[in-house]
């Protein structure tokens, strides 16, 4: 979580990267100048926005062995194994993946700015884990006291064929 989330928030709220990142990356972590730290402290964030779509297990691959497959290369760079299963048991209900034809329809008929949202919610390996949202909201509220918190995006995307066809049939060019 610190690599993916708090690397942005900690400098804004506390003027430096999280202690955990310093331990992990040591001299490879860029250092803030005194001037940069001062600017960060003067220009505090008005609120924190959370986009939450799934919850996963994360295993530390520094102090424990991991079998990182090629498709997990992004997580391998962070030296963690991210997975939706532990001991063969899913963390939650698997989220259905939208079909490629629906993706093409979405690209053709809606703005590309919304495409990023669609991609976030329709990956294989995403799970419906409502308590994950509760845990992250509680943690962020505790860590960044007195900062308004907004859930800016959440949920899952599941267009049925009929739902997609409704938009195709109602389009007038």
**Residue 84's pLDDT is what?**
82
3-state secondary structure at position 52: strand
Of 148 and 152, which is predicted with more confidence?
A: 148
Whether residue 4 has pLDDT greater than 70: no
CA dihedral 138, 142, 146, 147 (to 10 degrees): -60
Whether residue 59 has pLDDT greater than 60: yes
Strand partners, 51: 153
Mind telling me the catalytic residues? 153
- Pick the range with the lowest mean pLDDT from 36-45, 87-96, 110-119, 151-160: 110-119
Whether residue 43 has pLDDT greater than 60: yes
Whether residue 114 has pLDDT greater than 50: no
pTM (two decimals): 0.62
Dihedral sign (CA 14, 17, 23, 26): negative
**Residue 31's pLDDT is what?**
92
Strand partners, 150: 49
């Amino acid at each position: 979580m610190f690599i993916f989330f708090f690397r942005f928030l900690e400098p804004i709220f506390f003027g430096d990267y999280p202690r955990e990142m310093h331990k992990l990356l040591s001299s490879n972590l860029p250092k803030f100048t005194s001037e940069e730290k001062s600017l960060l402290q003067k220009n505090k964030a008005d609120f924190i926005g959370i986009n939450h779509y799934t919850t996963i297990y994360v295993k530390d691959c520094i102090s424990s062995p991991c079998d990182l497959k090629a498709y997990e290369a992004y997580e391998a760079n962070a030296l963690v194994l991210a997975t939706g299963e532990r001991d063969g048991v899913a963390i939650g209900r698997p989220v259905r993946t939208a079909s490629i034809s629906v993706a093409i329809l979405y690209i053709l008929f809606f703005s590309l700015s919304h495409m990023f949202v669609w991609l976030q919610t329709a990956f294989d390996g995403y799970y419906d884990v409502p308590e994950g949202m509760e845990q992250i909201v509680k943690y962020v509220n505790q860590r960044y006291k007195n900062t308004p918190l907004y859930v800016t995006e959440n949920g899952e995307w599941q267009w049925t064929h009929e739902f997609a066809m409704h938009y195709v049939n109602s389009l007038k060019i």
